[in-house]
Structure 1
């Protein structure tokens, strides 16, 4: 029987050790995520680690070293799709990046375990856990500190409120004035503002501006016929 021909007790024990290592270490990573009530918790991280270990161990047994290397590459790219599902974007806010990165780390732990690199799997798991625990107070401390302008980048948005019948002319004038001031527009959004007016929202390519120069552009815009108000704002980028 083919099953009996391919059954090797030594290989089976080796695979069991690899899967058990992936299960335990992936579970440790997942436990930390579960305690913090993240999207990918105990079961997800454990399954990712065990799955990666199983695929790599199978490839190493059937295809040897070269086969294992190819499967590791597929695991790395495949986890990208799983991580993308954990990333959510709501307006300007993006969440789930750390969860996706943790899944990537769990896959690395599983791949090491699948290759029989138990020590490397343990070290990888420890560093993933350290990144999610020991670095958290550092991140919180940095986030609470005031941002120094010279070290920050921001997205700058110009807002113009005008009469709806003047919207096309104001839009063209807005683009022209910003281009002349060396602040090209990356994106423009227009929508109704009240019953008779419209708001034009122009996002700049620039990540830093000269406030007096942009204020001058706003003053020129407000002098245009049909313009009710023109102003700009900045929001920090992630």
Structure 2
């Protein structure tokens, strides 16, 4: 039991340091609970099957992991957290079965995956693509009435969540008379197609409080097709 708690704490420390939903206590409790259920099967002797109980633990942790998975538009968040909880349960089962070396090895692998593969994943994300899938930078500028700024921010983020455009930055600049605000969004769009930006401009131009909206390629230059308002 102490081995399961210790391994769960080690996994949870990395998650807590990253400020993830399931941190130190959650991973420690998952490992402890998995260990306790498997020990129950061992203590029951002939009336219990440890492997069958371990299978139930896997199913139960699957439901627990499903609670931390969130879908926002076309993206899914929480998969790494759910997978980590699953691994913590596996560590607890190994500890209960008396396989201390295996439990420690799995713990080291889980922590190593989080620490070492994270930079590799970011490097792969930044790698340029070829052909028509090359990402291009665009700037979207909206001039909105100050009192409608919050609502329009939410509308823009919602519109971008379901498409191929990736938001890289958002700045807000108030006008001299403090009656309007300029929202500047830095976007990355896959390929050279700009129909999504045109659709976004048309949609935003119909929103209440929008004075003007335009997009342009790159971070400088005159606006190209897409002016509205």
TM-score normalised by the shorter chain: which range applies? 0.5 to 0.7
Offset from partner CA, 1:70-102 (integer Å, 9 cap, x none): 011111111110000010001111100000000
Structure with greater helix percent: 1
Structure 1 runs, 4 residues or longer, greater than 6 Å off: none
Q: CA deviation at 1:148?
A: 3.9
Query: TM-score normalised to the size of structure 1?
Result: 0.54
Q: How does 1:190-209 map to 2 (within 5 A)?
A: none
Offset from partner CA, 1:119-151 (integer Å, 9 cap, x none): 111011111111111111111100111234699
Q: How does 1:9-158 map to 2 (within 5 A)?
A: 19-63=1-45, 67-148=49-130
Report the count of equivalent residues. 138
* Aligned equivalent of 1:176: none
- Matched residue SS, 2:67: helix
Over 3 Å counting, the alpha-carbon distance change for 1:20 and 1:97 in structure 2 is same
Q: CA deviation at 1:63?
A: 3.5
Separation (CA, whole Å) in 2 of partners of 1:94 and 1:41: 19
RMSD: 2.6
Structure 1 stretches lacking a partner, 5+ long: 1-18, 153-202, 204-210, 216-238
